[in-house]
């Protein structure tokens, strides 16, 4: 079980990656789990007792009182659920943590099921009465509008309860199984004539090795291990996709699998179609970039093995203390307030940075509840890329902290805007580093790093979603895992054209992407967010300091308004092909700028 630390929390910066302290989430969560659940049960019972009083004509203050009680349930549930997931993340092989997580999920699902009646009643209230009741709902208005938006796809109360219960032992269990299996993988690579056994995070550091043979060996080992479990992982994916179809197409009558995600994001299907289409149309800019990178890094022929080949200025390793300083200084150069908020994550020990066996891979930020400093998970190995990841996840954290004055239901931003602060944080860091350099060679390396990141978070993510759209249809028609792999490889080769050779083993890359399994069609949020940030950052460079308050206000909105409304306030039309194309115009300018460094 995660422990506390005797070291003073406030005002302390560690010089080495340290583990987080989860004691602020829940008091004695394991020993007092039944007590915490009983408190939530009592709150739910109190709300259930109001069921006979529910009426479209009820006083607005009575309705508001019920909403405040549901906020209390959501706050308590969020803290307990967060503790369970964060503990599990520390070591996915820890059976006690897995058992605790399962128990919490089951009990919270049961409690939330008892409150379904409230959402279902609210969906049936006539528009005139709904407007009257929402007039006094304050910050909860958009939350209430969101519930009503789901009415055409909502089932009866007994059906909704069954789905929620079965999801615990269905989708949730499948996702946990994927995490347990894949985070338990070990990989072997030879370095200086000696074999090293690594977890995935350790292995992926080698795909950025200065040596081409090492990069190729790292990818070969990654896909050797994953493809050895392709039957199991393929079946997990097919099960998850079939479950998504059964619920969202079969029961809820969505027009397509991705439409369910779009409704949750409050984004029109057409806007997503335009975004994905513009990304595919601009694949050539990255093809041109990778040809240019091959020249700069003296790679011939350019292969998918070498996509993230480092510039000769990138081999340096960075201490954790240096990384923290670099990120905080970059944030402070943009906004002292942002830097202070980011610093709070470190001072309160809400960051878990070291890599270790069994720890969940990648990185994330968990904004639990308004007023509680978010938790950040990293797998810090000292690469330059890890510093960018730190800036990214701290962007998520400050986003949640700036929106802390909103309700627990509305402080999280909607998915299309969820990557805004994180990607903007990376741009702040990159720009700060670029402004400090006068060396043509170093600036060339920084441009390569930025364009690598933009590729990975724009085009790569859009193509994940393109694959998912096809894969869900294929699975509905009975496709095998090998057929899915063939489709993935074809999409990959279409993406790179003749600029980058794609070896056959990359057909298994989709098995390694957790979002494809756990969050269908999530990844277009990265493309959305990155292209949006490119436009916002251009505005910042044009307007200077006067842009900062407007940006902070944008983040402070959280998820309290529709994303289209938030974006239109800053002149963005998400359905406009011209807007998305403007983002690619910035990318093309960066490629031209890179080319001038060869002169």
Q: What values do phi and psi take at 266, rounded to 5? A: 55, 45
State the Cα–Cα distance between residues 70 and 36, nearest whole angstrom: 16
Crossing angle for the helix pair 459-476 and 481-496, to the nearest 10 degrees: 150
Residue 50 lies in a domain: yes
State the Cα–Cα distance between residues 333 and 509, nearest whole angstrom: 38
Residue 96 lies in a domain: yes
Q: How many domains does the chain have?
A: 1
Question: Which stretches of the chain score pLDDT less than 50?
Answer: 1, 3-11
Residue 408 lies in a domain: no
- Look at residue 13 in the predicted model and tell me its pLDDT: 63
Contact assessment for residue 378 and residue 363, using Cβ atoms and an 8 Å cutoff = yes
Q: Read off the DSSP letter of residue 249.
A: I
- Look at residue 290 in the predicted model and tell me its pLDDT: 97
CATH number at residue 67: 1.20.140.70
With 0-12 / 13-18 / 19 or more C-beta atoms within 10 angstroms meaning exposed / middle / buried, residue 592 is: exposed
Residue 155 lies in a domain: yes
State the Cα–Cα distance between residues 434 and 429, nearest whole angstrom: 9
- How many C-beta atoms lie closer than 10 Å to residue 240's C-beta? 21
Of the candidates 588, 298, 361, the residue with the CA atom closest to the CA atom of residue 454:
588
Of the candidates 168, 180, 264, the residue with the CA atom closest to the CA atom of residue 514:
180
Domain that holds residue 123: 33-169
Residue 417, C-beta contacts closer than 8 angstroms, at least 6 positions apart = 529, 532, 559, 563, 566, 567
Residue 362, phi-psi category: left (phi > 0), alpha (psi -120 to 50), beta (remainder): left
Residue 51 lies in a domain: yes
- Look at residue 315 in the predicted model and tell me its pLDDT: 66
Beta bridge partners of 351: 376
pLDDT digits (tens, 9 = 90+) for 460-510: 999 999 999 999 999 999 999 999 999 999 999 999 999 999 999 999 999
- Look at residue 281 in the predicted model and tell me its pLDDT: 97
Contact assessment for residue 473 and residue 455, using Cβ atoms and an 8 Å cutoff = no
Of the candidates 393, 350, 395, the residue with the CA atom closest to the CA atom of residue 552:
395
Task: Indicate the Cα dihedral angle 415, 420, 423, 424, nearest 10°.
Answer: -170
b/e per residue 17-44 (b: at least 16 CB within 10 A): bbbbbbbbbbeebeeebeebbeebbebb
State the Cα–Cα distance between residues 35 and 25, nearest whole angstrom: 15
- Look at residue 9 in the predicted model and tell me its pLDDT: 43
Contact assessment for residue 216 and residue 502, using Cβ atoms and an 8 Å cutoff = no
Using DSSP's 3-state secondary structure scheme, residue 346 falls into helix
Contact assessment for residue 78 and residue 151, using Cβ atoms and an 8 Å cutoff = no
State the Cα–Cα distance between residues 278 and 281, nearest whole angstrom: 5
Residue 509, phi-psi category: left (phi > 0), alpha (psi -120 to 50), beta (remainder): alpha
Residue 112 lies in a domain: yes
Residue 195 lies in a domain: no
Residue 590 lies in a domain: no
């Amino acid at each position: 079980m995660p422990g506390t630390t005797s070291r003073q929390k406030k005002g302390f910066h560690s010089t080495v990656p340290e583990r987080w302290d989860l004691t602020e989430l829940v008091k004695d969560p394991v020993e007092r789990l039944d007590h915490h659940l009983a408190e939530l049960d009592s709150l739910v019972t109190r709300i259930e007792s109001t069921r006979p009083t529910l009426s479209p004509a009820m006083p607005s203050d009575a309705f508001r009182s019920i909403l405040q009680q549901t906020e209390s349930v959501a706050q308590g549930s969020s803290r307990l659920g967060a503790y369970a997931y964060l503990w599990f993340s520390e070591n996915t092989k820890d059976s006690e943590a897995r058992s605790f997580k399962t128990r919490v999920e089951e009990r919270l699902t049961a409690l939330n099921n008892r409150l379904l009646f409230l959402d279902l009643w609210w969906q049936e209230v006539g528009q005139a009465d709904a407007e009257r009741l929402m007039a006094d709902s304050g910050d909860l208005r958009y939350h209430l509008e969101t519930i009503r938006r789901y009415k055409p796809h909502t089932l009866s109360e007994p059906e909704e309860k069954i789905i929620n219960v079965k999801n615990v032992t269905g989708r949730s269990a499948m996702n946990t199984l994927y995490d347990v299996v894949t985070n338990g993988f070990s990989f072997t690579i030879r370095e200086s004539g000696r074999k090293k056994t690594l977890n995935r995070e350790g292995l992926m550091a080698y795909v950025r090795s200065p040596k081409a043979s090492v990069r190729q060996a790292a990818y070969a080992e990654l896909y050797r291990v994953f493809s050895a479990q392709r039957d199991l992982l393929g079946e997990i994916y097919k099960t998850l996709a079939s479950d998504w179809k059964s619920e969202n197409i079969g029961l809820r009558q969505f027009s397509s699998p991705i439409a369910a995600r779009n409704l949750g994001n409050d984004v029109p299907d057409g806007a997503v179609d335009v975004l994905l289409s513009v990304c595919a149309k601009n694949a050539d800019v990255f093809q041109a970039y990778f040809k240019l990178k091959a020249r700069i890094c003296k790679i011939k022929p350019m292969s998918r093995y070498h996509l993230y080949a480092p510039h000769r200025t990138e081999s340096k390793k960075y201490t954790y203390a240096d990384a923290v300083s670099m990120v905080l200084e970059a944030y402070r150069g943009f906004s002292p307030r942002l830097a202070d908020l980011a610093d709070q994550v470190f001072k309160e020990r809400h960051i878990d940075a070291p890599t270790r066996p069994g720890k969940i891979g990648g990185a994330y930020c968990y904004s639990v509840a308004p007023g509680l400093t978010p938790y950040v998970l990293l797998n810090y190995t000292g690469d330059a890329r890890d510093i960018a990841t730190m800036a990214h996840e701290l962007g998520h954290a400050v986003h949640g902290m700036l929106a802390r004055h909103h309700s627990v239901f509305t402080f999280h931003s909607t998915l299309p805007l969820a990557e805004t602060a994180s990607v903007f944080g990376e741009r702040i860091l990159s720009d700060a580093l670029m402004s400090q350099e006068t060396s043509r060679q170093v600036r060339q390396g920084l441009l390569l790093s930025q364009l690598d990141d933009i590729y990975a978070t724009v085009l790569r993510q859009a193509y994940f979603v393109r694959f998912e759209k096809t894969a869900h249809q294929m699975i509905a028609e009975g496709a095998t895992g090998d057929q899915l792999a063939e489709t993935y490889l074809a999409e990959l080769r279409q993406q790179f054209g003749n600029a980058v050779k794609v070896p056959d083993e990359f057909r298994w890359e989709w098995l390694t992407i957790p979002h494809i399994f756990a969050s269908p069609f999530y990844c277009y949020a990265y493309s959305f967010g990155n292209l949006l940030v490119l436009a916002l950052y251009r505005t910042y460079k044009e307007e200077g300091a006067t842009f900062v308050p407007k940006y902070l206000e944008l983040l402070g909105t959280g998820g309290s308004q529709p994303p289209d409304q938030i974006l239109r306030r800053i002149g963005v039309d998400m359905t406009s092909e011209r807007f998305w194309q403007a983002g690619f115009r910035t990318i093309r300018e960066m490629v031209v700028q890179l080319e001038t460094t060869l002169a």
